[in-house]
């Protein structure tokens, strides 16, 4: 017989334990949690896989290690490229480029975090899938006007700050695109490439 537990958080999250995995249902998506070796778990989860998108996300830690929530990076490294270069010309493709997030990527792939070695920095569209509605919709107010944020019941060590995506903004090549999980806003102007911002890695099949 399955045991059902109701958890109250910023989002109402229903948790139930099945024989092989911990599955979390929130208002935006259903996630399966796995440990560092890729095994389904009810504790010490290191990754979360979204059922709808199939994307597997790195879960941050609070241990001063390579996955620590407080680690920040300047934009650039493995996977980063300037989009729109063919329209703008090489002189405008952005000369501000770093490789800070390579340490996180290389370490995650070397250790085969959650059983995988194909971790990368998400695109802006992938990162936006983590934005969840904060509470119930106000009467008469469109959903898109509500404050948005990540569901911390699934992603507990998340900072109220913009996070880098790998996506650039072609008309302002000194910037790159971000998602601010304090508000759910997706902007380029919050991401000057020299700013130090967190990164949450992703992978897909």
Count Cβ atoms below 10 Å from residue 91 Cβ, excluding itself.
Answer: 7
**Residue ranges per structural domain of the chain:** 4-136+146-203
Whose CA is closest to 59, among 134, 156, 131? 156
**Radius of gyration of the CA atoms of the chain, in A:** 18
For residue 68, the model assigns a pLDDT of 98
Q: What is the DSSP string of 20-37?
A: S-EEEE-SS-EEEEE-TT
Whose CA is closest to 180, among 195, 194, 197? 197
For residue 95, the model assigns a pLDDT of 62
| Residue 38, phi then psi, degrees to nearest 5 | 90, 15
For residue 173, the model assigns a pLDDT of 80
Alpha carbon distance 137, 144 (integer Å): 9
How distant is the alpha carbon of residue 71 from its chain centre?
Answer: 14
pLDDT tens digit at each of 205 positions of the chain: 333 222 333 343 334 333 344 444 344 578 999 999 999 998 999 999 999 999 999 999 999 999 999 999 999 999 987 544 434 344 444 567 799 999 999 999 999 999 999 999 999 999 999 998 643 333 344 444 444 478 888 998 999 899 999 998 878 888 899 999 988 889 887 788 999 999 999 999 9
């Amino acid at each position: 017989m399955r045991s059902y537990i109701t958890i109250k958080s910023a989002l109402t999250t229903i948790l139930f334990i099945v024989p092989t995995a911990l599955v979390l249902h929130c208002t935006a998506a259903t996630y399966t949690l796995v440990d560092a070796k890729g095994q389904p778990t009810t504790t010490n989860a290191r990754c979360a896989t979204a059922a709808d998108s199939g994307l597997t996300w790195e879960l941050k830690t609070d241990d001063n290690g390579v996955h620590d929530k407080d680690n920040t990076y300047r934009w650039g490294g493995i996977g980063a490229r300037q989009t729109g270069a063919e329209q703008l010309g090489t002189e405008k493709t952005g000369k501000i480029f770093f490789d800070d997030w390579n340490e996180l990527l290389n370490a995650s792939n070397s250790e085969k975090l959650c059983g995988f070695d194909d971790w990368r920095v998400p695109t802006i569209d992938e990162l936006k899938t983590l934005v969840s509605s904060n509470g119930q919709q106000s009467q008469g107010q469109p959903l898109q006007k509500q404050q948005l944020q990540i569901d911390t019941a699934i992603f507990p060590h998340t900072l109220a700050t913009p996070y880098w995506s790998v996506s650039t903004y072609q008309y302002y090549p000194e910037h790159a695109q971000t998602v601010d999980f304090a508000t759910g806003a997706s902007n380029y102007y919050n991401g000057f490439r020299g700013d130090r911002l967190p990164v949450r890695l992703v992978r897909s099949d």
